[in-house]
Structure 1
Amino acid sequence: MSPERRRRAAVIVLDACGVGELPDSAEYGDAGADTLTHVAQDAGGLTLPNLGELGLGNITTILGVPAAGAPVVHGRLHPLGPGKDSTTGHWELMGTITPAPLPTYPDGFPDAVVERLRAATGREFCCNKPYSGTEVIDDFGEHHLKTGELILYTSADSVLQVAAHDDVLAEPELHALCATLRGVMTGPDAVGRVIARPFTGRPGSFERTTGRKDYSLDPPSRTYLDELADDGVPVHAVGKVHDLFAGQSIDAAHPGKTNAQSIASTTALLKDLDGGLIFANLVETDQLYGHRHDVDGFARALKEIDDAVGLWRGLLGPDDLLILTADHGVDPRSSHTDHTREHVPLLAITAGSDGHRHDGPMSDVGATVLDWLTGREAPELPGAPFLASGFTAAG
């Protein structure tokens, strides 16, 4: 990259903000899923002036968000591989397609797996079922405090989760234990993520802390982040992005346990960073509200994101690219409380580009970022740029 031309790109993932079912959604139990449309309808309409001006209402029908007269690049993106979780969703955005579905455990983990967990950690476990993360501490927290057994649970996604009260296992010890479990869950049991879930409080008022930590598999193939690293382009991860890529080809991790933290980190980077990629996750539409089918909370989080987008637009320079997208859905009308397999939105903002419609694979995001920041493509990776970088002409 020419030293005279320091470009920036920011990819912001609005976690779980899906925009409509995929052709195979019914195979996942998600026929008719349409997260943002249903959140808007059930909330009585959304007020999102910044996202609306960019063209969110041009992507699909969202009550309260009319189509814009002059949208930016906008459309719907789809995964190329199986799954509907955060790990594979973020991987897809950066050009890594998982070759087969990651293992799930709808009946809990088999005895042989649990025995491996015991042998690796010297701890006993309780629960061992698919469970809501808030309900599991309500139902098993008191037992956990009395016995010291750690709360082991999963979901419809490829995850192994361990919840522990700070009085039983301090947060650093829980993190260390889950790192050990990551090393145990290999081969056919290589779940996408091992997640530490610390909590505090007393029976009847348990609360999860912000000390969650995800231990992901390494991406199964080369990513656009690797391509950027080869060209010396710095990558700054905000929130759980660092964990989802197991830190691979990421230069710095910035706080993002909450949306407020992620927004503050992203804002600071847009003010101060002189070149490179900002790759951020805004988690609360998934973690706090989506899985609980809390439509009002989801709508409030979207309004806070909309306000942040308005701020970020004012921080963009002529050589900056801002992409807003998602990783999957979590439809509040679903019969379950897990992720839903859906298209994800695309809004791409940069100076001088026309506001055309673009529908394509999620990996087009990574391809566009690489081209924007380096002026080249990576033909061996899936995806193609949806913007002309103008890099050669301008550089």
Structure 2
Amino acid sequence: MPRAIVCLLDSVGIGGAPDAADYGDAGSNTVGHIAEWAAAGKADREGLRSGPLNVPNMDAMGLGAAIKLSTGTLPPNLSATPKGGRFGVGREVSKGKDTPSGHWEIAGVPVPFEWGYFPQSEPTFPPDLIAEFIRRAELPGILGDKHASGTTVIAELGTQSIHSGKPICYTSIDSVFQIAAHETHFGLERLYDICKIAFELTEPLNIGRVIARPFVGETPDTFRRTGNRRDFAIAPPEPTLLDRNAGAGNQVYAIGKISDIYAGSGVTHKLKGTGIPQLFDKTLDVMEMAADRAFIMTNFVDFDSEYGHRRDVPGYAAALELFDARLPELIAKLRHDDLLILTADHGNDPTWPGTDHTREQVPILVFSPALPPGEIGIRSSFADIGESIAAWLGLPPGRHGKSFL
């Protein structure tokens, strides 16, 4: 009996979105620009990696061919001729370039509304919202109150936060309210509790997520975010593929931050993990135990959070190569009628100005021992991914998207 596995390579975009100019992202191309950077032999951090981008397994599934289809240009050291599986390009119809929109649309539910956003001015949050947040959370105040990169703002304000007991509140161009605090000095459960309060206050503004960003360390040089991040998210407006499969009595495994993104809806088994190796291990473990018609979805967040937002080109290249090197392990565990899809939710070009996501098309790389190879073209919605999985698992068609199988 069939099963489906989705590896969501967070932010691994492949350029070419027709409306990218509306977001200031015309010409962005996450994987393409990383490949060009690597082939040019530019300065790299000592000992991290060297040479052209080396992702032969994803390339065999059609990564290079998908980028050429998306942009018209084949990046260095990638091939236009896949060796197996089906390849294509996903084009998002939801507005914005945020995490929930991309994930929900992949699961068959394009976002039908505009998200709320905070202005670029400082202070950035509405004063009455912050005053009520401080009152209800019983805080001495907050720090930040601006647009910022998470790692940068923690290095800047982490020491003050520890000494004052004030959490660091910041946002980005995405529809998000982020709260950073020290895991031990402030307390992890207390951080989650104040995030719940913030979520109640920001939900009427249509802010998509409140994110708890715990960190450890005692000095700016040693501060680091931990794997205990938690997203408090608005629920999708209608049943997603996760809900539909769970409703049919089947298992839905959410690995990484997947459950948070869907507000837990439709999830029967939730597994957390930190870093690409651990998330990969958990995916392999789940494949050993998942029953017939199970749906497994893993978000590999490091591409986005550790390398895209930080504009770390060599780190991003090394992460792609790490994932690619382990891909044969996953393929070897596939049953004859398992379906594997590699895709992404948006771009985050590390060569691009700023620190935000980029509006890009995404790869759709599809493999099953039972599936003949071929091209699936440029799909008019990410929802085609969800509908293809639904068809594979024997679920009735949904309202959005069309299967490419």
Relative to the length of structure 2, the TM-score reads: 0.90
Q: In the TM superposition, what whole-angstrom CA distance separates every residue of 1:271-328 from its partner, at most 9, and x where no partner exists?
A: 2323200011111110111111111111111111112221111111111000000000
Read off the aligned partner of 2:377 and give its amino acid letter: H
Q: Distance in 1 between matches of 2:37 and 2:266?
A: 40
Q: Distance in 1 between matches of 2:82 and 2:188?
A: 50
Number of residue pairs matched?
379
* Corresponding position of 2:324: 306
Which of 338, 350, 356 is residue 320 of structure 1 equivalent to?
338
Q: Distance in 1 between matches of 2:259 and 2:291?
A: 20
Q: Distance in 1 between matches of 2:373 and 2:91?
A: 22
The reply to whether residue 208 of structure 1 matches residue 225 of structure 2 is yes
* Corresponding position of 1:283: 301
Counterparts of 1:73-222 in structure 2, within 5 Å, are 73-105=86-118, 106-107=120-121, 108-123=124-139, 124-187=141-204, 189-205=205-221, 206-222=223-239
Q: Distance in 2 between matches of 1:167 and 1:218?
A: 30
Q: In the TM superposition, what whole-angstrom CA distance separates every residue of 1:72-121 from its partner, at most 9, and x where no partner exists?
A: 21111011110111111101101122222211112321112212211221
Counterparts of 1:29-68 in structure 2, within 5 Å, are 29-44=24-39, 45-60=52-67, 61-68=74-81
Q: In the TM superposition, what whole-angstrom CA distance separates every residue of 1:329-381 from its partner, at most 9, and x where no partner exists?
A: 00122211110011010001012323223321101111011110115322xx2
Report if aligned partners of 2:95, 2:114 keep a CA contact under 8 Å in 1: yes
Q: In the TM superposition, what whole-angstrom CA distance separates every residue of 1:162-188 from its partner, at most 9, and x where no partner exists?
A: 11113431112111221222122122x
Report if aligned partners of 1:73, 1:358 keep a CA contact under 8 Å in 2: no
Q: In the TM superposition, what whole-angstrom CA distance separates every residue of 1:218-247 from its partner, at most 9, and x where no partner exists?
A: 112221222212211211001000000010
Q: Distance in 2 between matches of 1:55 and 1:191?
A: 36
Report if aligned partners of 2:106, 2:382 keep a CA contact under 8 Å in 1: yes
Q: Distance in 1 between matches of 2:391 and 2:184?
A: 50
The reply to whether residue 297 of structure 1 matches residue 297 of structure 2 is no
Q: Distance in 1 between matches of 2:395 and 2:104?
A: 22
- The Cα of 1:208 is off from its aligned counterpart by 1.4
Q: Secondary structure at the match of 2:315?
A: helix
* Corresponding position of 1:237: 254
The reply to whether residue 10 of structure 1 matches residue 29 of structure 2 is no
* Corresponding position of 1:3: none
- The Cα of 1:69 is off from its aligned counterpart by 4.7
Which of 237, 241, 244 is residue 227 of structure 1 equivalent to?
244
Relative to the length of structure 1, the TM-score reads: 0.93
Read off the aligned partner of 1:263 and give its amino acid letter: F
Q: Distance in 2 between matches of 1:383 and 1:290?
A: 29
Q: In the TM superposition, what whole-angstrom CA distance separates every residue of 1:9-57 from its partner, at most 9, and x where no partner exists?
A: 0011001000113121111111111110001111223101111111111
User: CA, structure 1 residues 269+167, in 2 after alignment: closer, same or farther (shift >3 Å)?
Assistant: closer
User: CA, structure 1 residues 69+149, in 2 after alignment: closer, same or farther (shift >3 Å)?
Assistant: closer
The reply to whether residue 273 of structure 1 matches residue 290 of structure 2 is yes
Q: Secondary structure at the match of 1:156?
A: coil
CA RMSD of aligned residues (A): 1.4
Q: Secondary structure at the match of 1:292?
A: coil
- What residue ranges of structure 2 are gaps of 5+ in the alignment? 40-51, 68-73
Q: Distance in 2 between matches of 1:316 and 1:364?
A: 22
Read off the aligned partner of 2:53 and give its amino acid letter: L
Report if aligned partners of 1:178, 1:215 keep a CA contact under 8 Å in 2: yes
* Corresponding position of 2:45: none
Report if aligned partners of 1:18, 1:345 keep a CA contact under 8 Å in 2: yes
Q: Distance in 1 between matches of 2:232 and 2:342?
A: 25
Read off the aligned partner of 2:8 and give its amino acid letter: V
Read off the aligned partner of 2:81 and give its amino acid letter: A
User: CA, structure 1 residues 352+203, in 2 after alignment: closer, same or farther (shift >3 Å)?
Assistant: closer
- What residue ranges of structure 1 are gaps of 5+ in the alignment? 1-5, 388-395
Which of 370, 375, 385 is residue 390 of structure 2 equivalent to?
370
Read off the aligned partner of 1:376 and give its amino acid letter: P
Read off the aligned partner of 2:313 and give its amino acid letter: V
* Corresponding position of 2:46: none
* Corresponding position of 1:392: none
Read off the aligned partner of 1:373 and give its amino acid letter: L
Q: Distance in 1 between matches of 2:142 and 2:401?
A: 43
Percent identity for Structure 1 against Structure 2: 36
Q: Distance in 2 between matches of 1:225 and 1:7?
A: 16
* Stretch of structure 1 that moved more, 126-135 or 214-223: 214-223
Task: List 4+ stretches of structure 1 deviating above 3 A.
Answer: none
